[in-house]
């Protein structure tokens, strides 16, 4: 088949928007084929590259070995327009091109086939400029280039998306939970409190029986015979204060002697009041002023407490069923429980530190 460039009923024309491009810019080639409506026309296949250097085209070269430097960015679909009341038609196609190598380029003619004949368009030329080639000597851009040419911009960092940070935020919440768990376990370990509290019910010992047990122990030790009066009076008054607290609901263990006597004034008889006041006063002198009472006086005060407990204990009514009261007793941790709690503290602590380090590393990587 012989290409046809001359006059025929098929006209192939190629135009270009701009003959001069800055490197990396784009321009459009418009290909128009005008023919009869009933003619079958095969449009040219547009490859990914179009041209070769004009300097190389002037020399005898093998076409397939030529290095093409103009890239095809996009090809539009073929658009048809009817002419002369539908007798003729124009086929139109746009080809977007660009180049990243400076130079003067020759764009070959486009070949259209119809009725076993090849019809060729006109050839085109394109000059691709480097940015420095259009810069004035004073390194400022003239107004005619200000809105036409742009330099190659630097690489921009993609914006940080919430979907990228979301997994790290969820893990950070997990770290906070581990820290709270660590603090919770540490408090239980320091206070010797088990994670699962073991509460048992034990019969409540009546106040007068408990006081009697303490007084019996003092009597067996014969504390009044010891030289250290402070220890003796401390044990004796502690037994008395605990009895008053459990029997009458007065917080005697946390009160001063005068405050205890003020509360007892409306409960005890005048004789008991005087005896107890004398006991507490002597006790204060022995504990804080190193007063050393005689042995018979210490024995007398022991009898005062014993007599007071005996006379103020609840009366037992004959025939009345005895009601046993129970109190809750919280058990401490066993040695095995404490070891397991310590192991849990170590595991939670190490896990939290490693997870936090991993999260911080990834946060730094995202923001660099």
Q: What is the pLDDT of residues 239-258, one digit of tens each?
A: 888 888 888 888 888 888 88
Q: How far apart are CA 194 and CA 175, in angstroms?
A: 24
Please write the tens of the pLDDT for every residue from 347-360: 888 988 888 888 88
What's the rounded Cα separation, in Å, for the pair 48 and 69? 10
Token duo for residue 101:
């190598």
Instruction: Give the closest residue to 54 by CA, choosing from 1, 121, 126.
Output: 126
- What percentage of the chain reaches a pLDDT higher than 70? 75
In this predicted structure, what is the pLDDT of residue 201?
A: 57
| Distance (Å) of CA 50 to CA 17, 46, 126, 174 | 16, 8, 11, 59
Predicted confidence band of residue 67 (pLDDT cuts 50, 70, 90): very low
- Rounded to an integer, the average pLDDT of 120-132 is 82
| CA distance linking residue 342 with residue 94, whole number of Å | 76
More confident site: 320 or 263: 263
Calculate what percentage of the chain has a pLDDT beyond 90.
Answer: 0
Q: What are phi and psi of 288, to 5 degrees?
A: -115, -20
CA distances, 212 to each of 93, 152, 238 (Å)? 115, 100, 12
CA gap 354, 175 in Å, rounded: 10
Q: Are 308 and 211 in contact (CB under 8 A)?
A: no
Residue 153 has pLDDT above 80, yes or no: no
Burial (Cβ within 10 Å: 0-12, 13-18, ≥19) of residue 4: middle
How does residue 54 score in pLDDT terms, banded at 50, 70 and 90? very low
Residues β-bridged to residue 88: 36, 83
d(CA 108, CA 118): 14
Listed range (35-39, 46-50, 62-66, 202-206) with the worst mean pLDDT: 62-66
Which is higher by pLDDT, 320 or 96? 96
Q: Please provide the average confidence, as pLDDT, over all residues in the chain.
A: 76
Q: What is the pLDDT of residues 294-318, one digit of tens each?
A: 888 888 888 888 888 888 887 764 4
59-68, 133-142, 260-269: which range is least confident on average? 59-68
**What six digits make up the tokens of 296?**
């018979």
The rounded radius of gyration (Å) of the Cα atoms in the chain is: 54
Q: Provide the pLDDT for residue 111.
A: 83
Tell which residue, 19, 68, 66, has the closest CA to residue 48. 68
Backbone angles phi, psi at 95, to 5 degrees: -125, 115
Residue 81 pLDDT more than 80?
Answer: yes
More confident residue, 7 or 197: 197
Structure tokens at 6: 């001359």
Residue in the structure block whose two tokens are 């914006």: 159
Query: pLDDT at position 152, please?
Result: 57
* Predicted local confidence at residue 200, as pLDDT: 59
pLDDT band for 59, please (50, 70, 90 cuts).
very low
Strand ranges (E), 272-355: 326-331
Residue 66 is predicted with a pLDDT of 29
d(CA 23, CA 129): 6
| Bridge partners, 49 (sequence order) | 71
Q: Is the pLDDT of residue 192 over 80?
A: no
């Amino acid at each position: 088949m012989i290409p046809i460039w001359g006059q025929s009923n098929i006209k192939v024309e190629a135009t270009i928007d701009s003959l001069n491009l800055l490197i990396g810019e784009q321009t459009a080639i418009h290909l128009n084929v005008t023919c009869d409506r009933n003619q079958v026309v095969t449009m040219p296949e547009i490859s990914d590259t179009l041209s070769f250097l004009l300097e190389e085209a002037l020399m005898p070269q093998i076409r397939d070995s030529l290095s093409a430097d103009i890239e095809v960015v996009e090809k539009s679909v073929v658009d048809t327009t009817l002419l002369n009341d539908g007798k003729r038609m124009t086929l139109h196609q746009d080809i977007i091109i660009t180049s990243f190598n400076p130079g003067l380029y020759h764009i070959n003619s486009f070949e259209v086939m119809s009725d076993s004949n090849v019809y060729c368009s006109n050839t085109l030329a394109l000059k691709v400029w480097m940015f420095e080639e259009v810069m004035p000597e004073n390194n400022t851009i003239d107004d005619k280039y200000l809105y036409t040419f742009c330099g190659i911009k630097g690489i921009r960092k993609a914006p940080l998306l919430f979907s990228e940070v979301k997994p790290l935020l969820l893990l950070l919440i997990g770290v906070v939970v581990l820290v709270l768990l660590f603090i919770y376990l540490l408090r239980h370990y320091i206070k010797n409190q088990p994670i699962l509290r073991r509460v048992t019910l034990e019969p409540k010992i009546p106040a007068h029986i408990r006081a009697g047990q303490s007084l019996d122990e003092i009597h067996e030790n014969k504390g009044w015979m010891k030289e250290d009066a402070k220890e003796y009076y401390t044990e004796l008054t502690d037994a008395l204060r605990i009895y008053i607290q459990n029997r009458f609901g007065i917080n005697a263990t946390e009160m001063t002697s005068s405050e205890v006597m003020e509360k007892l004034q409306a409960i005890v008889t005048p004789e008991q009041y005087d005896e107890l006041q004398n006991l507490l006063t002597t006790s204060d002198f022995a504990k804080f002023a190193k007063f050393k009472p005689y042995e018979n006086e210490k024995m007398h005060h022991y009898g005062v407490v014993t007599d007071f407990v005996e006379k103020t204990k609840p009366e037992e009514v004959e025939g009345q069923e005895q009601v046993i009261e129970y109190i809750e007793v919280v058990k401490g941790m066993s040695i095995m429980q404490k070891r397991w709690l310590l192991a849990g503290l170590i595991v939670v602590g190490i896990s939290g530190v490693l997870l936090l380090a991993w999260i911080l590393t990834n946060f730094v990587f995202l923001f660099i």
